[in-house]
Chains A and B, each alone.
Chain A
């Protein structure tokens, strides 16, 4: 990854981090070599990730079940007795918790649709995600966070598989839309 600064633009150093070029304000307006340690989004990611881990921990202790989001949502479609209310309350909390951040934190409010993704693409993506997470018994949260947090080998395999499938899909989608 490239990281460093050269030149000035509008009297600020121009820095290239991870291939992105941005202006940076230095505390003393010094011009020269400057390597910011991390992109701001990494801190948001780490902080948000810790909240996700904490919430998953609370749900684990409260319900005694592995709190994977695809499972919590999916099992609403096959309701067992006395097993629906907590799932709805969890999803309500998830939606309101996110909405609160969208309205208060500028970074959280970012919402950009990637190039070439129509609503038809989203409809197909939804089908595949729904189908795949139930056959595969977990998603990014159930396998990627909770399963790996438990050290389950099948969750490590599942996470590697959906990541590689995601890498390939994005690569092929780029090729297909560029053509």
Chain B
């Protein structure tokens, strides 16, 4: 029960952060990726803030919480190819998984189209390439 409560708070913080930062607006994301056009660096501030709080917090909170650690994975061909495919989809729609899901509550048409096809893409990757075992 405690885990579910904390996970709900975590989700709400992330959802609020995605909306507050303007990352649920696909044009703001595409403008960040549009380096030859009207470049909008907002996304860099979002990632910078998130990395600082997450990276700093996981070290600082070792004092008082059981913060897990993980081994780094090798840089594999699948990580590079998968990330490239993800980047193409990201540039097409201006949606990555978090913002697309966050837009569902407002029943925005593009998110209602994107999330199911994203699920199909994930399902295919899991079936064909045996990921997420």
- Which residues from chain A sit less than 8 Å from chain B, CB to CB? 18-20, 39, 41-42, 44-67, 69-71, 73-75, 77-78, 85-86, 89-102, 105, 107-108, 110-114, 117, 119, 121-141, 143-146, 148-154, 157-159, 161-171, 173-174
Contact = CB atoms under 8 A, between A and B. Distances in A.
Given A52-B14, A74-B132, A105-B20, 7 more contacts: A42-B45, A98-B18, A110-B25, A112-B28, A127-B89, A145-B51, A168-B91
Interface of chain B, helix or strand or loop or mixed?
A: helix
A21 B102 CA distance: 31
Contacts, number: 502
Contacts of A164: 87
Interface in B51-105: 51-55, 57-58, 61, 65-70, 72-76, 78-98, 100-105
Given A66-B70, A112-B27, A137-B78, A125 B105 contact: no
Contacts of A92: 8, 11
B49 A50 contact: yes
Contact of A166 (B15, B81, B90, B125): B90
Contacts of B132: 71, 74-75, 77-78, 134
Contact of A53 (B37, B57, B90, B116): B57
19 contacts: A49-B17, A53-B51, A70-B96, A74-B126, A78-B132, A85-B4, A95-B105, A101-B15, A101-B19, A102-B105, A108-B20, A111-B24, A114-B27, A125-B93, A126-B89, A132-B121, A137-B79, A138-B83, A149-B51
